[in-house]
Each structure stands twice: as C-alpha cells, then as structure tokens.
Amino acid sequence: MNEKKGRGKIMIIGAGGVATVAAHKCAQVPDVFREIMVASRTFSKCEAIREDIARRYGRDIRTAQVDADNVAELSALIDRFRPDVVLNLALPYQDLHIMDACLETGVDYVDTANYEPPDAAHFEYSWQWAYRERFVQKGIMAVLGSGFDPGVTNIFTAYCQKHLFDEIHYLDILDCNAGSHGHPFATNFNPEINIREITQPVRHWKQGKWVVTPAIIEEGSVHFTFDYPIAGAKESYLLYHEELESLVQHVRGLTRARFWMTFSDTYLNHLRVLRNVGMTRIDEVDYEGHKVVPVKFLKSLLPEPASLGSNYKGKTVIGNIMSGKKDGKGITRYIYNVCDHEEAFRETGTQAIAYTTGVPAMIGAMMLLTGVWQGTGVYTTEELDPDKFMEALNTYGLPWQVVEHAPLPF
C-alpha cells in the first residue's frame, strides 16, 4: 500500500442513497477503509447510516454535521478527522466548495457528478478542470465522476481501448432502468438535479463538433427502441451526459459519441405537465410574500429517492456499445452490467440506481487509498488505468460482461 495513503481514512460528504451505499461498501472492506466518517448537513441521516452499519457489520463509524457550502467549516472538520480522501456525494452545486476545502487541507478528492451552478441548469467540467494546476501545486489528486455514468462507463471505454480496440470510432452509452417503484411519479436520485438535467437541450458528438437536438420532452426528440439484455425492448432517448465531454478528448479515433436513457411514457407525460405549469422552473417566484423556487418545492413533495428501495422491483442495465478497428478489422463490442433493485435493497437498504453509483464511488476512493491510482492534478476516470477498477467491479457487486454485438443501425 502506498505510504501516503497508509492510514485508510475516508470522509464521505453526503447522507443520501448514494452515500448510504458507499458507506456500506466501505464498511465491508475494513482492510482498506480502516476509519470512516459520514458528514452531512442533516445529522440524523448520518446517524441512521451509522446505526445500520453497526447492526449489519459490527463496525463503528464516525458522523458529523457540516455545511458543505461553508469552506471554513468543512476545512475545520477535515483537519480534525484528517482523512486520506474526501468522497463528495453531496449535491453538484457543492463540488467547488468541497474541492476548495481539500485544497485548503491537502486531501485527495473524489466525486461522482460534475459541478452545476445553482442558478443555471447547466453542467460541464470546465469549472473543475480549472483546479488542475492548484491540485498539482498542492501535491494532491482529484478524480471526477467516479459513479456509474459518468464513471464506470468511462472505465468501460478505457478498458476496451486498452485491451479490445486499436481505435474506437463509435461510442453509444445506453442506460436502462427497467425497474418499478410503484409511485405514479418519482425520480431515482435528487429530483432537482434529475429534472434540471433531462429538461435541457440534447447534445451529442459527431465529426469533431457538438450536434444539438431537442430535449427528451420536446417534439423532435431523438429516440429508438433497443433490446436490452434481460430487460427486453425499451424506448431509449438521446440525452446529453457529462462523460461525453471528457471521453471525446481521450478516445482514439472517436467520430461519434452518444448517450441514451430509457424513460416510460408515464414519466415523460408527468414531466411535460409539470414543465407546462411551471413546476420545473429554477428561478424564484413570489408566493404570498415569499420567494419560492418551484423545482425545490416540487422536490419537497416527491418521494425521497433513498426511500424507493423497499418497493422497487426489476433491474438496471447500463453499458457501452463500441465499434472500431482491431488489427485492421472492424469490430463491435457491448460491455454492460445488470443490477437488481431487490438485491441492492437487501444489501444496503437502497435501490439499484443508488447502488450502481455508490459502489464505483467506493471503488474510486479505494484506487486512491491503495495507491493504484496516483498523481497530482484533476482527472476523469478514463485517464487512469482501468484494470484494477474493473476487477473491483466484479468483486464488490457490479459484475460486467463483454459480448459481440451488431453496430447500431444509425
């Protein structure tokens, strides 16, 4: 084990469903994660995680209340606990504050989603990539997007580029949730972030430039039916997702990159109605003398994503279809994972969406703590060696497989 990371101390910021999964998975690997702290604005959620981990594994973890928007407060907590890595599983709005605290205290950083300003429904890596030189000067490392998508989808691409392809020309990431939670309308992760993401215009990469198409709820949105392993045929909608931004910079020979996600007609119809009546707005409105942000109010009415697991049935199927060349011959490969909502709930008390993000978040932190990933600066996961991460996916609950596949027909 790397001397720098020898103590095995991790601080998890956040206490939602993904943080719950990550804390459980860390607790399952005591030889790597010797000390664990979960810190959040809502202390009761941290305590609930602590009590569940104690009951399931007989491990005592530490908890703390912290405002992740307050850099001084967060830096003071990091200084007291002295972790080897901070795993940011809070809101994307808070990424830069947490990175600032890591710079202040000299601690490595891992997250699962790129920064998004609270007053604009827009997300990109530029704000975090701007930290590269400061992290280099401080001698610490930041790993961005170590969830599933982004995260595992990037690692899948890096693994295939290293072992299966000489060049990858076409990359399609397909994310299918074939599960049912029994609610008329609910989001699988933070409703505010989820709704902001999927109501925006779509972009995909083609021939060296971004091509813009309508949002999934707009007329003219791009979609097709794909036959997913186990889950079967599902309508899949073209959606912009953040891993495309970094992958187009790091994949040899790439001429087209797209991201697809499944949505039911019921979900889309609910979302259209909410948008049409103004409930997805992110700006403030006046209501009886009070300033209210409609999407924040909507969030308070919807089921808490972490609560969905008890009734969730079905599976998720997420992976990449890649076409390119190997030894001068054209090949296509499909690499994917299948995750079961009920199995995720039995193990961690959450649903598969949280599980598929929380497990690779833990693995990313593990790669730093064990010295597999080393460096200074700011990285996305496809820039780092994928092999040990891929092994860990099989070991810690997200097994994958690679199969031959026909290229997508368009």
Amino acid found at 42: T
Q: What is the mean pLDDT of residues 22-37?
A: 98
Measured distance CA(272)–CA(276) in Å, rounded: 6
108-131 burial, b if ≥16 CB within 10 A, otherwise e? bbbbbbbbbeeeebebebeebbeb
366, two tokens? 């593990």
In 196-287, at which residue ranges do the beta strands (DSSP E only) sit?
202-206, 209-213, 223-228, 232-238, 256-262, 285-287
Say if domain 152-342+399-404 classifies as CATH 3.40.350.10: no
Question: Is pLDDT above 80 for 257?
Answer: yes
Question: Is pLDDT above 80 for 30?
Answer: yes
CA atoms within 13 A on the CB side of 227: 4
Q: What is the mean pLDDT of residues 187-194?
A: 74
151, two tokens? 């995260």
Which distant-in-sequence residues (6+ apart) come within 8 Å of 42 by Cβ? 15, 65
pLDDT in tens, 108-153: 999 999 998 877 767 889 999 999 999 999 999 999 999 999 999 9
Task: Domain ranges for the chain, please list them.
Answer: 3-147+356-392, 152-342+399-404
Fold of 3-147+356-392: Rossmann fold (3.40.50)
Predicted TM-score (pTM) of the model is 0.93
Task: Please tell me whether residue 263 adopts helix, strand or coil conformation.
Answer: coil
pLDDT of 1 reads: 32
At 194, the pLDDT band (50, 70, 90 cuts) reads confident
Which distant-in-sequence residues (6+ apart) come within 8 Å of 145 by Cβ? 111, 112, 113, 114, 151, 154, 242, 243, 246, 380, 381
- Cα distances (angstroms) measured from residue 5 to each of 26, 83, 358, 372: 15, 9, 21, 11
pLDDT of 6 reads: 56
Q: What is the mean pLDDT of residues 399-403?
A: 98
pLDDT of 307 reads: 77
pLDDT in tens, 296-337: 888 888 888 767 777 889 999 999 999 999 999 999 999 999
